[in-house]
Amino acid sequence: MASFLFRTIQSHSFLLCPTTLLRRNNGAFYCSMKSTHTQTATQEKQQPPPKIKSSPQGNQAKTRTLDRISKEYEAIIGIETHVQLSTLTKAFCTCPYNYGAQPNTSVCPICMGLPGALPVVNSKVVEFAVKLGLALNCKLSFNSKFDRKQYFYPDLPKGYQISQFDIPIATGGYLDVDLPVEYGGGHRRFGITRVHMEEDAGKLLHADDGEYSQEITFPIIYALQVDLNRAGVPLLEIVSEPDMRTGLEAAEYAAELQRLVRYLGVSNGNMQEGSLRCDVNVSIRPVGQSKFGTKVEIKNLNSFSSINRAIDFEIARQALLYSQGKADQIVQETRLWEEGSQKTVTMRKKEGLADYRYFPEPDLPEVILNKEYVDSIQSSLPELPEMKRRRYEEMGLSMQDVLFLANDINVARFFDATIEKGADVKLAANWIMGDIAAYMKNEKLTINEIKLSAAELAELIASIKGATISGKIGKEILFELMAKGGTVKGIIIEKDLVQIVDPSEIEKMVDKVLSENPKQLEQYRGGKTKLQGFFAGQVMKISKGKANPGLLNKILLEKLNAKS
C-alpha cells in the first residue's frame, strides 16, 4: 500500500452552489449548465483496434522521388502519449467522468478550482501508474511527488496543472513491438523515457455550434464557453525515447501502447474520444550524421493510420527541404495534421521555451510507494501482449495468427479460454480468425457480444475432430451458436445432426444410390471415374449431410470398383 493519504472524498453539496457562480452574463467565458452539445452520456463501444493502413496517397512518381530522397535521410521520431485513466472518479476529487456528458454536469469545487478547495489524490491513479510503469519495464520512483505546471488558459481552472516534473513515478523502460507481417514483420524494442501522472484540462466549446475546439481564435472569444467535465480527469503521460524511424513504427508503437493499457484495464484507449492522444516529434538528419536535426511536433493525430501518414508526410517534407538546401526552413514548431488534405500545416511557431515555473505541489503529500505495494501490483499484472505473443508463437502459431489473436485482449481471452477447454490450437485459431471474425465484422459485434462461448467452440472443435459431426455441419452449428447461443450437444440432438459412422448404414445408402443410378454406374465403370463425386454427393444428400465422409468414400469406392 502506498503510504500517503488514500481516501475517497465525500460528495459535495454542489447543488447548493448558486447558479450565478456558474454563469457569466457580462463576460466572455462561462461554465454553462445549459447544454449546447447534444451528445448522450452513453459511451461509445470499445472497438477492437483498427489495423493500420498504408498510405497510397499521391501519385506514384512523386512518391518514388520522395522515397529516394528519404533514403538519404534518417528520421528520428519520439512520441508523447496521454492516456486517460478509466478510474471511477477524477484524479483529485470524487466527480465521475463520462465522455459526452452534458457540459459542466460532472464538476465540483475542487475540479472547478474554487477558492479554498483542495485536491486529494485518488489512490487508483497511483495504482494505475504503477501498473503501467511495471508493464513498460520501468524503474519506479518510490518517493515521487506532484508538481504544479503553471500557465493561463480558460480550460485550466486553477491556473496550473497538477503534474509531475523532475521525479516522475516511472522512468527508463521499454516497449516491445512486433511489426505486421505484411510490412515485412520484425521485432522492435522502443525505449520509454518516463511515465508521469497528471490531470486533464477542460474543453473549450463554441457557443454557436456546440463544437469543441482546441484553440481560441480571436475575436470570437465571446462565443466561447468552457466545459469543465474533463478538468481533473487523471492522465498518464508516456514519453518515448526517440527510437522510431518510420511512420509505421510510430503507429505500431502507439497501437501496442493502446493494447497494453487495454490489457491492463487502466484505460479504454479510445483515440476518437481522446482517451489516447499522441503528439509526435519528428526530425531528420542525413544518414551517418550524429547530430539531431530540428524537431517538429505534430498534433491532431486521431488514429494510428493518421500517425503513420502524418509522419511519413513530415519526413518527406523535411527531406525535400534538406535536399533543396532549404534545411533552415525546418523550424521548431507545432504542426497540425489535416486529415482532409493529408498534410501537416503550421499551427504555431515556438516563441522560445515556455516557462511553466514548476514547483512542488504543496497541497499534496509526497507519493511514497513501498515494496509490498509494488510487489502486490506486480503479481496481479495480467499476461501482457508481448508475453502473449511469445506464448502463442511457442504454441506453433504463425506470426500472422499471433498478431491477430493477441491484438484484441478480448479475442485473446476467448482464444485462451477455448484452448483451456482442450481445443486444438491451430483449429481454434482458424475458427476464430475465419468464420468467427467474419461474422463479427459483418454483424459489427465484439467477441464478447456474440452468443458463442469459448467452451462451446472447444466442444464444436472436439465434435468435429471426434467425428461426431462433419466439418460442414460444424460450420452450420457455429453460426447458430454465434447468433442464438445454445450448446453444440443441444443443437446436434435437436436437429439430429450426429454423424453416421455405422458402415452398414452407409452401405445401405450407397447401395440405394447405386441402384437408383444405373446409367451413371455404367459410365463410371466404363472409365468415367470422375463420377465418384456425383455418387458421394448423392449419398451425402440422402444422409442429410450426416454420413462420415471418409467412411462414405471408402465404402463407395469399394462398391463402385467391386463388380468391375
Partner 1 sequence: MLSTLHHPPRRLSRFFPANNKPRHFHTKPVLSSSQPVTDQSPSSTSPPESQILSIHHSLLSREVTATQLAETYLSRLKLAEPQLKSFIHVSNNVLKEAQSIDDKIKRNENVGPLAGVLVGVKDNICTVDMPSTAGSRVLENYRPPFDATAVKKVKEFDGIVVGKTNLDEFGMGSTTESSSFQVTANPWDISRVPGGSSGGSAAAVSARQCVVSLGSDTGGSVRQPASFCGVVGLKPTYGRVSRYGLIAYASSLDVIGCFGSSVADTGILLSAISGHDRLDATSSKQEVPDFTSQLISASLLESKPLKGLKVGVIRETLENRVDSGVKSTVLGAVSHLEELGCTLSEVSLPSFSLGLPAYYILASSESSSNLSRYDGVRYGNQAAAEDLNALYGDSRAKGFGSEVKMRILMGTYALSAGYYDAYYKRAQQVRTLIQKSFKTALDENDILISPAAPSAAYKIGEKKNDPLAMYSGDIMTVNVNLAGLPALVLPCGFVEGGPVGLPVGLQMIGAAFDEGKLLKVGHIFEQTLQGCRFVPPLIADGIPQ
CA nearest 112: which of 202, 41, 224? 202
143 interacts with partner 1 by CB under 8 A: no
Return the half-sphere exposure (C-beta side, CA atoms, 13 A cut-off) of residue 121.
29
CB of 462 to partner 1, least distance (A): 55
Per-residue cell: 548: 462420415
Bridge pairing between strands 147-150 and 359-360: antiparallel
CB of 17 to partner 1, least distance (A): 3
Report, in Å, the least distance between residue 104 CB and partner 1: 10
Burial class (CB in 10 A: 0-12, 13-18, 19+), 218: exposed
How far is the C-alpha of 426 from the C-alpha of 415, rounded, in Å? 11
Within a 13 Å sphere around the CA of 138, how many CA atoms are in the beta-carbon half?
Answer: 27
Regarding 88 and contact with partner 1 (CB under 8 A), the answer is no
The residue from 359, 449, 528, 541 that contacts partner 1 (CB under 8 A) is 359
Q: Which is nearer to partner 1, 124 or 277 (CB)?
A: 124
Residue 120 contacts partner 1 per CB under 8 A? yes
Nearby residues of 112 by Cβ (< 8 Å), 6 or more positions away: 31, 157, 228, 231
Select the residue interacting with partner 1 from 1, 33, 88, 221 (CB under 8 A).
Answer: 221
> Residue 391: how many CB atoms within 10 A of its CB?
14
CB of 296 to partner 1, least distance (A): 23
Question: Should residue 234 be labelled a site residue for partner 1 when binding is judged by CB under 8 A?
Answer: no
157, three cell numbers: 481552472
400 near 178, Cβ under 8 Å?
no
Please confirm whether the linkage preceding 109 is cis (ω < 30° from 0): no
Closest separation between CB of residue 156 and partner 1, Å? 9
Question: Which grid coordinates are listed for 559?
Answer: 462398391
CB of 192 closer than 8 Å to CB of 167: no
Binding status of residue 114 toward partner 1 by CB under 8 A: yes
Q: Taking the complex as a whole, how short is the minimal distance between the CB of residue 102 and partner 1, in angstroms?
A: 18
CB 387 within 8 A of CB 263: no
Residue found under cell 468391375:
564
* Least spacing, CB of residue 82 vs partner 1, in Å: 22
Q: Does 355 bind partner 1 (CB under 8 A)?
A: yes
Site string for partner 1, 360-379 (x = CB under 8 A): --xxxx--------------
Task: Tell me which residues in 93-112 interact with partner 1 (CB under 8 A).
Answer: 109, 112
Residue 434 DSSP label? I
- By CB under 8 A, the count of residues binding partner 1 is 54
Closer CB to partner 1, residue 176 or residue 363? 363
Q: Should residue 351 be labelled a site residue for partner 1 when binding is judged by CB under 8 A?
A: no
Instruction: Name the residue nearer to partner 1 (CB basis): 206 or 525.
Output: 206
Applying CB under 8 A, among 10, 60, 341, 379 the residue interacting with partner 1 is 10
Q: Give which of 310, 285, 287, 281 is closest to 57, Cα–Cα.
A: 310
By the rule CB under 8 A, 295 interacts with partner 1: no
Of residues 158 and 196, the one with the C-beta less far from partner 1: 158
- Return residues touching partner 1 (CB under 8 A): 4-5, 7-10, 12-14, 16-18, 21-22, 24, 26-31, 109, 112-121, 148, 150, 152, 154, 157-160, 216, 218-219, 221, 226, 353, 355, 357-359, 362-365
